[in-house]
Structure 1
Amino acid sequence: MPTLGLLHLQTPDQLKQRDQPPPPSAPKAPSQLVAHIQSAWQRNKRAREQIDRRLLNCLRRRKGVYADSELREFQEQGCATGLFMPLSATKSRAAAAWIRDILMPAADRAWALEPSTLPDLPPPQRRQLLLRAARQARQQMIAAGQPQDPRQFREQVAGQARELESRLRQDERKEAQRRAARMADRIADLMDEGGYDAALDEFIEDFSTYPAAILKGPYTRRQRRLQWLGGATPAVSEGHGLAWKRISPFDCYPAPHARSPQERDFIERLRLTESELYAMIGIPGNSEWDIRQVLQGARGGGLRHWLWTDAERNRLEGDSSYDWLTRDDLTDGLHYWGAVPGRLLLDWGYDAAEVDDPDRPYEIDAILVGEHLIRCVVNDDPLGQRPYHKACYEAIPGAFWGRAIPEMCEPHEDLCNASARALVSNLGIASGPQVYMEVDRLADGEAITQMHPWKIWQFKSDPNAAQRAPIGFFQPGSNAQELLAVFENFERRADDATGIPRYAYGNDRVGGAGETASGLSMLLNAAAKGLRRGIANIDTQVISRTVTQAFNWVMLYVDEPGLKGDCAVVPRGTAALLIKDQAQQRRQQALAATANPVDLGIIGQRGRAALLRQYFEGLELRVDDIMPSEEELAARERQEPSLLEPSVAPAPFPFVGEG
């Protein structure tokens, strides 16, 4: 800095730099933790090379295109290169539509919350119940005006206690069911706000296409909401909510020999925008210094050029703007989930109070961009679960990746395509006559590549004076019927291989039992057995786990006592497939069977209303607009008591707190 006496001279840039706030201090270089994540990435990426080829093969078959190597081979053979008969695409679309109809019903949910079994009464509550029963028995004895035998009195007290306990458990069960219903509504509301339906729709598309489909969630994210204060004044609020999204199988890298995303190391490849990166500043566990380094130009990390599948994947998915010279504004990152020794966390900057044992494995959630670790937190899930859930159409025991519908259809589709290419070539050859001629007898300048009606051919005389025609025609035979028979044979075999018959997606060529409505229903029920296993995988591996994690989040972080209660998640996808049509017919039969005064006197208005509610729900109607509420039915019953009800209602029993 130049000086002149006591006067300090500074340039404009130095003044600007002086006035700026000091940059945030850089944390300790996370070399060991970064090296650990990079080593896991290289290992998982090498282990997935064969899977990458399978994923591209499934995507090509779903799009109905050939690989470049196959096209070159067809060109050398002179086949119809652009002809592809997409059997697997048809099967995948039919399976996806079938699964959506079951797992995404219009007026219902594919899951339910059921209260857990009520525990035994604690000793203090049981003593109060016995005292209440003894008082009632004593009052009955006094009302009768004669003393009872002590043994008979004890039996009467025990009977009163059993009756009170039964009524108590019934009331507790009803309250637990009401709490479970309120909890289910709250979880459904969180799912609507977090994009669960859109994520599940894309997940089902992957499920019917790839060897595995992955759904991420629930995970917390910062959300901005527009609220209307007083009904007219807009106000933007920020908060944290749950979210779900589909993860492409191309972006998932499980560890070798892992059977699910919950085992060993699991890495998700991220493509982050600058807005997404900036929004990560200020979140606990994120490194602001590393995020700003990435935003200032250290983006990319070179991951784009490490993945050889990107070019063909983008071409098949319709992103024609990408090539190896194009530089986009997305930042590649690795979202790492796995266990690391505590000493790596201590080296990164964790306090010794948070990491008590340097040799203990800690389950972490970390994001690496290039050499910058922009996030590293210990997984706060109570059970250490990760927000990733995987399901396969046909699971392979002990393997992460299963078998996809295009892979099950592959040999039959290849034979159908070979038959179709041969059929096109044969039809082209047999469409007209073939010509042969003696070229040396053609007149000079005669064109042999052009033939049209009334053409005059000019020939020279035969120098050998042979009695041979200078030009001849013959008609090649057509093998169209044989080739069509081969095509149809393997098309039918594809139905058996995939478990998705043609009549499941509207093909009218059924025949046999399928010519009647009941016969077709039986065939569809039998065909559903192949799909049932895949839906069962979604039920147990995805639906049940995502809803359970959302339930745990509400129990831990939502302060609403009216929702709290011990519940179990019951997925209903497979059950819906089994009984959806049959149950509706049985409801209709039950309504017809109980439409008489005797049965109505037994089941009452509430029982009849329960049957009607289930029947209208099966028709996907708005039940609340048709049926009266429980309170209205209770009021009607009080005004018009049933003949079977006792004339004197039993007294209430709020015995808790009584002496």
Structure 2
Amino acid sequence: MTDQVPDTDQQGEMELAAERLQRFAHRLTRMAHEQVQSRASLEQRWLEDLRQYHGEYDPVTSANLQDSEGSKVFVNITRNKTNAAEARLQDMLFPTDDRNWGIGPTPVPELEGVEPGETAQGPNGEPVDLSQIAEQVKREAKKKARAMQDEIDDQLKEGRYQIKCRDVIHDAALLGTGVIKGPVIVGRTKKRWDTQGGISQLTIEEALEPSAERVDPWDFFPDMSARHIEEAEFIFERHLWTKRQLREFARLPGVLDEQLRSVVKGGKDNSQIAKDHTNDIRAITGVDSINSTNKYEVWEYHGPISKAELLDAFDEAGEQITEEEVDELNDEVEAVVFFSGNNVLKVVLNPMDTEDRPFSVFNWEKDESAMFGFGIPYLMRQPQRVINAAWRMMLDNAGSSASDIIVANRDLIQPADGSWSSQPGKKKLYFLTDKRRNVQEAFASFTIPNHQTEFANIFTMARQLADEETNLPLIAQGEQSDHITQTSSGMAMLMNSANIVLRRAVKNWDDDITRPTISRFYDWNMQYSDDEAIKGDYTVDARGSGALLVREKQQESLLAYANISAGNPEMAIRRDWKGLDRELAKALEVPYEQVTLPDGEIEEKKQQAQEAGDPEMQLKQAEIQLKMQEAQAKAQREQQDFQLRSQQQQWEQQFEAAKLQTEQEKARLEIALKEGITLAQLEQQAGLESQKLEAQMQQTAAKLQTERDKAAAQLTEEQNDRMAREQNMANGWDSYG
């Protein structure tokens, strides 16, 4: 029989536990206060960034301008620069028709239950090495990776991830730092209509799902000694909650009700640690300040706590923890603590087995000495001041030089109406009191020099310095200077050069936001999801920089690549033509789904084309037929050339025969004259020789005719041989008979 603990001892133990919890809350409050003090100078810089973004002077400059009688205008180019940079980065990171991340299997994926060297029995009882079934493992890994990608994509879309990321980009462009938090578990209401028997009924379901949230940089207080989020020993996040939000928080499991009631009884200002800059921001934007607020300051702590502090919080909440779990705890454990003032409201262990904290930080311009970076207003602070000063001087100088300074001698003149002031458009009458003096001696006019050109040069140089210091030229803002070429290729080159700096920002986003955030969602699904079809060995691919190419350049590259692949059979086999078609439509900004037939209709058209004849074979036959026609035309030209050559040779033979006959006649006539005999007698004597010569000439002509016939036969045979080979190749034969 166990001894009963007296009520007094139990009451004393409860008081000691409450005191320990109060000391725990006091320790966290002191740590938070230290981070708030360390960040005070940074907040003053943020306020100055906001004033510059909204076209307001800082308090010191504003007071000085109020004391002077000069111009007080503010030429706000900071807002345009900041908005242009923000919009440009958003357009690069979040294309409207694609994700900027992906999930794929590792290069050597390993499936659960498959060990290297493990064997099993095949269909016929033979041993099979499971680790050698590489292709099957890869296919299964790709299938599961796509399922995991779809699951995370659905979770992010439900939580409006892109909208919140745009807010983070705005924070980074304006203040230099943007923070996103995820996964955080939220209760989401899902509505579904069920129709049975013609009657529709609405079904509402509550589901806890992971989501992502944008964290206001003003409420983000990490370990200020850390230079990167990975180096932070702890992280604080401030919440300014209304009483309604406190009631919703009280419904969560593990909330310490007595501690929460103490916060409500203590009032809204009892737990204030950090200054609320809402009124300062409202004053900058021209909105009236609020004298009182109905917000309670609740802090969320992510970091190590002692084992004793954890056990005290669990005992106070009435939750149980097993001895095995206690033994597994080290001296410090990673936990999440909600507290307000000296009251601990809720303590839970880090829900992630990886002990990753849910925060990711993005800097527009990194600061190597701190976790917080620099925004566009800070980068162009000095050029903005020069621009304002130059513009004020231009206006003051223009006003001063527009009217002359008149000096009058009162001893020589007197106004007719007795007033020395003058009004525009009204004639003024003066009397010369000393007639011995000249009226020119009574008046003198002086003109203040006009320096508009010099001030305009300063203004222009300051604008150029703003482009240089922010690395955001006019071409990156959508504006075009006079010297920029009008050709498409030149414009593409300039746009690509202008994107170099933004490309670095996109890389930073990939490394600091996309990859760690998606990895945490992957870890959460691997740990808590009940769907085994999505679990596997994956890697996260952050591909925000893939959207940085200029669209015109991307279009040209895709078209060129498609043409090269189509002309090379080896490359054509490797291409996913459907995917390439989709990418071309995306680059050309064409609605792919609206201009593409469904898969069923595409298959029907392919079947119809095959029944009508294979288009590829028809094209091949047309090419062969064209080649045959070209070969026939070539043979005809060669035949014509041979006939011309033969005719020319015949003409030459006839000419030689006629020439030989003429020479013979001439020779006989000379001989007859010389010997004093008649030509008939000479022909009788030379008859035998003429017959011999004629026979020789006939023999030569016959020989030439034989050679011509032989050459013509050989040419005809070659033509027939060529045509036969081409016909056999068209039929797919390698030889001919």
1:620 offset after TM fit, Å? 4.8
Deviation per CA, 1:258-286, whole angstroms, max 9, x where unpaired?
A: 12344123212211122221112232332
Does residue 1:428 correspond to 2:399, yes or no? yes
> Any conservation in 1 of the 2:352–2:524 contact (CA below 8 Å)?
no
* Amino acid across the alignment from 1:247: V
Q: TM-score, normalised by structure 1?
A: 0.79
Partner of 2:210: 242
* Amino acid across the alignment from 1:399: A
Partner of 1:204: 169
Classify 1:90/1:436 alpha carbon distance in 2 versus 1 (closer, same or farther; 3 Å). same
1:506 offset after TM fit, Å? 2.3
Partner of 2:190: 225
Q: What is the identity percentage for the equivalent residue pairs of Structure 1 and Structure 2?
A: 22
Tell me the distance in 2 between the aligned counterparts of 1:467 and 1:385. 91
> Any conservation in 1 of the 2:179–2:217 contact (CA below 8 Å)?
yes
Report the 3-state secondary structure (helix = DSSP H, G, I; strand = E; otherwise coil) of the residue aligned with 2:548.
Answer: helix
* Equivalent of residue 489 in structure 2, options 498, 504, 518: 518
1:400 offset after TM fit, Å? 0.7
Partner of 2:71: 80
Report the 3-state secondary structure (helix = DSSP H, G, I; strand = E; otherwise coil) of the residue aligned with 2:530.
Answer: coil
Larger mean Cα displacement after TM superposition, 263-272 or 34-43: 263-272
1:200 offset after TM fit, Å? 0.5
Report the 3-state secondary structure (helix = DSSP H, G, I; strand = E; otherwise coil) of the residue aligned with 1:209.
Answer: helix
Partner of 1:106: 96
Structure-to-structure mapping, 1:516-595, within 5 angstroms: 516-578=487-549, 582-595=553-566
Tell me the distance in 2 between the aligned counterparts of 1:517 and 1:235. 55
* Amino acid across the alignment from 1:69: V
> Any conservation in 2 of the 1:215–1:247 contact (CA below 8 Å)?
yes
Partner of 2:48: 57
Classify 1:635/1:453 alpha carbon distance in 2 versus 1 (closer, same or farther; 3 Å). closer
Does residue 1:489 correspond to 2:454, yes or no? no
> Which structure shows the higher helix fraction?
2
Does residue 1:36 correspond to 2:27, yes or no? yes
1:444 offset after TM fit, Å? 8.6
Report the 3-state secondary structure (helix = DSSP H, G, I; strand = E; otherwise coil) of the residue aligned with 2:430.
Answer: coil
1:485 offset after TM fit, Å? 0.9
Does residue 1:71 correspond to 2:62, yes or no? yes
Report the 3-state secondary structure (helix = DSSP H, G, I; strand = E; otherwise coil) of the residue aligned with 1:232.
Answer: strand
Classify 1:132/1:539 alpha carbon distance in 2 versus 1 (closer, same or farther; 3 Å). farther
Tell me the distance in 1 between the aligned counterparts of 2:52 and 2:22. 43
* Amino acid across the alignment from 1:31: Q
Tell me the distance in 1 between the aligned counterparts of 2:51 and 2:309. 42
* Amino acid across the alignment from 2:238: R
1:397 offset after TM fit, Å? 2.4
Classify 1:594/1:338 alpha carbon distance in 2 versus 1 (closer, same or farther; 3 Å). closer
Does residue 1:190 correspond to 2:155, yes or no? yes
Tell me the distance in 2 between the aligned counterparts of 1:563 and 1:342. 35
Partner of 1:303: 272
Report the 3-state secondary structure (helix = DSSP H, G, I; strand = E; otherwise coil) of the residue aligned with 1:521.
Answer: helix
Deviation per CA, 1:103-129, whole angstroms, max 9, x where unpaired?
A: 111100111112112258745556768
Partner of 2:289: 322
Classify 1:321/1:379 alpha carbon distance in 2 versus 1 (closer, same or farther; 3 Å). farther
Classify 1:244/1:602 alpha carbon distance in 2 versus 1 (closer, same or farther; 3 Å). closer
Classify 1:171/1:348 alpha carbon distance in 2 versus 1 (closer, same or farther; 3 Å). closer
Larger mean Cα displacement after TM superposition, 403-412 or 38-47: 403-412
Partner of 1:257: 225
Classify 1:123/1:474 alpha carbon distance in 2 versus 1 (closer, same or farther; 3 Å). closer
Report the 3-state secondary structure (helix = DSSP H, G, I; strand = E; otherwise coil) of the residue aligned with 1:518.
Answer: helix
Partner of 1:312: 280
Classify 1:266/1:124 alpha carbon distance in 2 versus 1 (closer, same or farther; 3 Å). closer
> Any conservation in 1 of the 2:25–2:339 contact (CA below 8 Å)?
yes
> Any conservation in 1 of the 2:117–2:131 contact (CA below 8 Å)?
no
* Amino acid across the alignment from 1:44: Q
Tell me the distance in 2 between the aligned counterparts of 1:458 and 1:615. 84
* Equivalent of residue 501 in structure 1, options 473, 481, 493: 473
Partner of 2:643: none
> Any conservation in 2 of the 1:606–1:633 contact (CA below 8 Å)?
no
Larger mean Cα displacement after TM superposition, 453-462 or 568-577: 453-462
> Any conservation in 1 of the 2:416–2:429 contact (CA below 8 Å)?
no
Report the 3-state secondary structure (helix = DSSP H, G, I; strand = E; otherwise coil) of the residue aligned with 2:560.
Answer: helix
> Any conservation in 2 of the 1:261–1:386 contact (CA below 8 Å)?
no
Q: TM-score, normalised by structure 2?
A: 0.72
1:366 offset after TM fit, Å? 1.6
Tell me the distance in 2 between the aligned counterparts of 1:59 and 1:288. 40
Classify 1:115/1:449 alpha carbon distance in 2 versus 1 (closer, same or farther; 3 Å). farther
Classify 1:481/1:232 alpha carbon distance in 2 versus 1 (closer, same or farther; 3 Å). farther
Deviation per CA, 1:435-472, whole angstroms, max 9, x where unpaired?
A: 33345755497444442224213356259958654344
* Amino acid across the alignment from 1:59: L
Partner of 2:84: 94
Partner of 2:685: none
> Any conservation in 2 of the 1:346–1:358 contact (CA below 8 Å)?
no
* Amino acid across the alignment from 1:92: T
Partner of 1:379: 350
* Amino acid across the alignment from 2:281: R
Deviation per CA, 1:2-28, whole angstroms, max 9, x where unpaired?
A: xxxxxxxxxxxxxxxxxxxxxxx9972
Larger mean Cα displacement after TM superposition, 415-424 or 577-586: 577-586
Tell me the distance in 1 between the aligned counterparts of 2:615 and 2:122. 29
1:553 offset after TM fit, Å? 1.5
Q: 5+ residue gaps in structure 1?
A: 1-24, 136-160, 645-659
Does residue 1:345 correspond to 2:317, yes or no? no
> Any conservation in 1 of the 2:314–2:347 contact (CA below 8 Å)?
no
> Any conservation in 1 of the 2:565–2:571 contact (CA below 8 Å)?
no
Tell me the distance in 1 between the aligned counterparts of 2:572 and 2:136. 19
Structure-to-structure mapping, 1:333-412, within 5 angstroms: 333-350=298-315, 353=323, 355-356=326-327, 360-412=331-383
1:593 offset after TM fit, Å? 3.5
Partner of 2:237: 268
Tell me the distance in 2 between the aligned counterparts of 1:132 and 1:631. 45
1:347 offset after TM fit, Å? 3.9
Partner of 2:141: 176
* Amino acid across the alignment from 2:138: R
Higher relative contact order (CA 8 A, sep 6+): 1
Does residue 1:289 correspond to 2:280, yes or no? no
Count, aligned residues: 584
Classify 1:387/1:607 alpha carbon distance in 2 versus 1 (closer, same or farther; 3 Å). closer
Classify 1:547/1:50 alpha carbon distance in 2 versus 1 (closer, same or farther; 3 Å). same
Report the 3-state secondary structure (helix = DSSP H, G, I; strand = E; otherwise coil) of the residue aligned with 1:66.
Answer: coil
Classify 1:274/1:317 alpha carbon distance in 2 versus 1 (closer, same or farther; 3 Å). farther
Let me know the Cα RMSD of the aligned residues: 3.7
Deviation per CA, 1:295-349, whole angstroms, max 9, x where unpaired?
A: 4563343528x5174432232356x2433xx223222222222222223333444
Q: 5+ residue gaps in structure 2?
A: 1-13, 316-320, 618-737
* Amino acid across the alignment from 1:287: L
